[in-house]
Amino acid sequence: MNSKLIWLALFVILLVSASFAPQKKKKVVFFGDSITQAGVSPNGYITVLDKTLKQQGINDYELIGAGIGGNKVYDLYLRMEDDVLSKSPDIVIIYVGVNDVWHKRSFGTGTDPDKFEKFYRAIIKKLQAANAKVIVCTPATIGEKNDYSNEQDGDLNKYSNIIRNMAKDLNLPLVDLRKLFTDYEKSNNSQNTDKGVLTVDGVHLNDLGNEMVSKAMWEQIKNIR
């Protein structure tokens, strides 16, 4: 066998080997508060999405939860290095804002709008510097009444608009959970109850809420190349 045939044979072997090599999975980190912490529970939105993808034969994603209860945007910033960047993610979904609003009433704390945006932008900048693709989400709900009579609807809408404007300014994919939930409540919460439709307590997701969030997030994840 001459040298040309040897090199051709080696080339063919390499091609065949490459075709059977396991594909590197994209690491997707879900970065947030207690809603995301619960996302890895048996009925949580991260678990639901993982099961759905496997049922559809989609095996090229590794889904990682990085949620801690009570977290606000500056908590995410402070633990980003250890809990997100250390995992070398390809995609990071930021889902924060509920506690930044909610804790103003419940604990007398929270995050002022200007500081919320400043920390949020700093998180995005640091993630992008590490070559991670970023998806942002609006906070869904603090109370499920459909007539905007929940006590903190005004602030929740304001902080959601901050995230929407950042997404537009920075050309980032947006999962607009605030709009998704309010639209659903208008059509499906005929009793105008403050919980029990998409959440168990007005904030944390029930099974239907988890299903909706998983679908909405996948719509953005699947478009990232």
Q: State residue 18's pLDDT score.
A: 45
pLDDT grade, residue 105 (50/70/90)? confident
Q: How much is the average pLDDT of 87-109? A: 91
Locate the domains of the chain by residue range.
25-221
What is the CATH number that goes with domain 25-221? 3.40.50.1110
Instruction: Annotate the chain with three-state secondary structure.
Output: CCHHHHHHHHHHHHHHHHHHCCCCCEEEEEEECHHHHHHHCCCCHHHHHHHHHHHCCCCCEEEEEEECCCCCHHHHHHHHHHHCHHHCCCEEEEECCHHHHHHHHHCCCCCCHHHHHHHHHHHHHHHHHCCCEEEEECCCCCCCCCCCCCCCHHHHHHHHHHHHHHHHHHCCCEECHHHHHHHHHHHHCCCCCCCCCCECCCCCECHHHHHHHHHHHHHHHCCCC
Rounded Cα gap, residues 124 and 111, in angstroms: 18
State the pTM of this model.
Answer: 0.89
Q: How much is the average pLDDT of 122-147? A: 98
pLDDT per residue over 48-76, tens digit each? 999 999 999 999 999 999 999 999 999 99
Q: State residue 44's pLDDT score.
A: 98
Q: State residue 103's pLDDT score.
A: 87
Instruction: Annotate 23-55 with three-state secondary structure.
Output: CCCEEEEEEECHHHHHHHCCCCHHHHHHHHHHH
CB 6: neighbour CB atoms within 10 A?
10
Q: State residue 11's pLDDT score.
A: 57
Q: With 90 as the cut, is the pLDDT of residue 225 above it?
A: no
pLDDT grade, residue 2 (50/70/90)? low
